Every structure is written in structure tokens, then in C-alpha cells.
Amino acid sequence: MVVRVGVIGAGIMGADHVRILATLVPSAQVIWVCDANAERARSVADTYGIENATTRPGDVISDVRVDAVLIASPDETHAPLALDCLKARKHTLCEKPLSQKSAECFDVVDAEAKLEKRLVQVGFMRRFDPGYVEMKSILDSGSIGQVVMMHNFHRNVSAPSNFTGPMALTSSAPHDVDIARHMIRAEFTSIRVYQPESSPARSAAMPVFCVARTSSGQLVTIDVNNDARYGYDVRAEVIGNDGSIWLKPPAHTELNVKLRSQSGYPADWRPRFADAYREQNIAWIRSIGDDKPCGAASWDGLAASLVAERGVESLVSGREVEINLPGKPKLFS
């Protein structure tokens, strides 16, 4: 079965999704590229021999030939476009976040539950990263016993001049929240967020450190520094009562010269998670053909958004904040 896809958003991430689907997923056929910038949409479409380009998402979603829609447009458009896709009963892969507003995420969850069919997958691609997949397999084998703690470590090279601590929680941390929930199979019940009190010139971009409690009694820490300068770096450790699992950053080469050993870091997330994005998109297309949903559901997008919101509340108030998820619809159980 060939799955015909329309991609909405042709920026850095959207263009990369078009490349993956057009060149690495034989059972996918991209037939639309949509972007607010008409020249960019046309350029990406022409690069991969795609006939249709538009600035109007409705052209993509309403086309009866389109089986599935991939949403990689600006964050604030994700939930409204996902709702439009649900109304058209289109399979949808929506880049994270589903929305930075949990209320909008809930609208998507509610609409999907009323259809009684999972159609929305959220782009938490770490679930497909080979390192995290191996970590999950070891964890599920019981090799380290009962999980008591998980540490998550997230570094970006540099933050925009307008970047803030709350943005680190709503933009970067949701990936860490989702992979922690996926790994330890527990919901966050409270969160306390800290930020250093020292005030360098770029204090708005200073690290944030989160400590969360889960419904199963574990602790989860999330350490985000979006202005680390040295490179893009993501790591994790799961600690059990019989051992631990440490996710190391992949290094393809190591230079040994002049009494020193040296390896490099990527400049952004794309090289680090290239395998994850490819495997995610392959799995998504396969799941449509098999009619067996995979990956993170809209419910997972809601959970991550709600944790981020409560994290911002904690950062502003300086206290631990409870997290209360709404009742989970049967569709996502």
C-alpha cells in the first residue's frame, strides 16, 4: 500500500520530513508541500519532484487523494491543524508540541476520542531512537530491578536572544517528559523547577533544572541548558534497585593526537536523531497501512504539555506544583 502524504510546513523540520518520506520511505508518496512562504513551498516540492505546492493548509487536508498529513508548521498552528485533520479523518503525524496550551491539547484528545479511532501521532521521535529503544528493552527485561529514578540531560548550542526559562520548559523539556513517561510507565504528579540565581548578561537563557515525582513513587530530573555553547548533547540514565542504564551520546569517530583524545558534537538535533526521525516516519507510514497506531498519541502530547505548564508555574512561583491529569479516555488506555 502506498500512503499519499501532504506535508504542512517546509521550514528546517518540514523540509527534512519531506526528504525522509520522499527518499527513505518507499511506501510513502508526498503529493503536497504547504508553507506560508510560497517560494519555500515550491522550492522544497521541486527538489523532490512533487507537483503540488500551496500556502493554504486546507488545500492539503481537503484533497481526497491525501491519506495522511504531517504537520511541521509553527507551534501555535499544530492543534488547530490537527483538529482540521481529524474532521477530515486523516491520519496525522504532528510535530511536538501538540500545543503549548494543555487546553488545546485536550480539544484534540476529546475530538479523537469521539471518533473512537486513533488518528493522531505526536512527533516524540526519541521513542524510535536506537539508543532509547535499547534502553527501554533492557529496562523491560527487569535487569536493573525496580526503577527508582531517571535523569535526563539536554543541551543545545545556543539560545535566541529572546529565549527564556519558561521557553525551555515548553519547547525543549517536553521531549524529556515524554521519554521519561514512556520509559518508566508512570505519570508525573508534581514538579519543582529551579534556575540559577546568578545573573550573567544572558540570564534569560540560563539552565533550568526540574525535579518531578511520579505516580509510582520515582523521581525524574530534567536538566535543560539551551545555551551550552559546546554542541547538541542529549543523555539519560535510568536507576533501578539492582543497577542502572546509561544512554551515552553516539560518537562515530574519535581523534587521538598529541596525547589527547577528542570527539565532536553535532550543531543541532538533526544528526543526533537522524535515525530516530527516519524510523519514526517509517513506523508511522507502516502503521497506517496496517491500521495499528504506533508512537506517542495525542494523550501523550496533552500529558507533556500539562507538565510543561505546571513547570512554568513552579519556576515563577518558586514552589512545587501538583500535576493532575484529566481522566484518560478509553481510546488511549
SS3 call for 194: strand
Segments making up each domain of the chain, as ranges: 3-125+275-296, 127-267+304-332
Report how far residue 183's alpha carbon sits from residue 290's, in angstroms, rounded to the nearest whole number.
25
Q: pLDDT at position 204, please?
A: 60
How far apart, in Å, are the Cα atoms of 197 and each of 155, 168, 309?
Answer: 19, 16, 21
Give the pairing of strands 243-247 and 188-194: unpaired
The string of DSSP codes covering 26-54 is: TTEEEEEEE-SSHHHHHHHHHHTT--EEE
Report how far residue 18's alpha carbon sits from residue 40's, in angstroms, rounded to the nearest whole number.
13
Give the pairing of strands 243-247 and 208-214: unpaired
In this structure, CATH architecture of domain 127-267+304-332? 2-Layer Sandwich (3.30)
| Burial (CB count within 10 angstroms: exposed 0-12, middle 13-18, buried 19+), residue 291 | exposed
> What residues of the chain score a pLDDT lower than 70?
198-204, 251-252
Give the pairing of strands 219-225 and 147-155: parallel
Q: pLDDT at position 199, please?
A: 53
Q: pLDDT at position 312, please?
A: 96
Contacts of 137 (CB under 8 A, 6+ apart): none
Report how far residue 1's alpha carbon sits from residue 93's, in angstroms, rounded to the nearest whole number.
18
Q: pLDDT at position 163, please?
A: 85
How far apart, in Å, are the Cα atoms of 118 and each of 90, 100, 111?
Answer: 10, 21, 10
Which residue, among 305, 295, 302, has the nearest Cα to 106 in the 3D structure? 302
Element (H, E) at 86: helix 78-87
Q: pLDDT at position 68, please?
A: 98
Please provide the CATH number assigned to the domain covering 3-125+275-296.
3.40.50.720
Q: pLDDT at position 262, please?
A: 82
Q: pLDDT at position 203, please?
A: 57
Q: Which amino acid is at 21?
A: L
Contacts of 58 (CB under 8 A, 6+ apart): 84
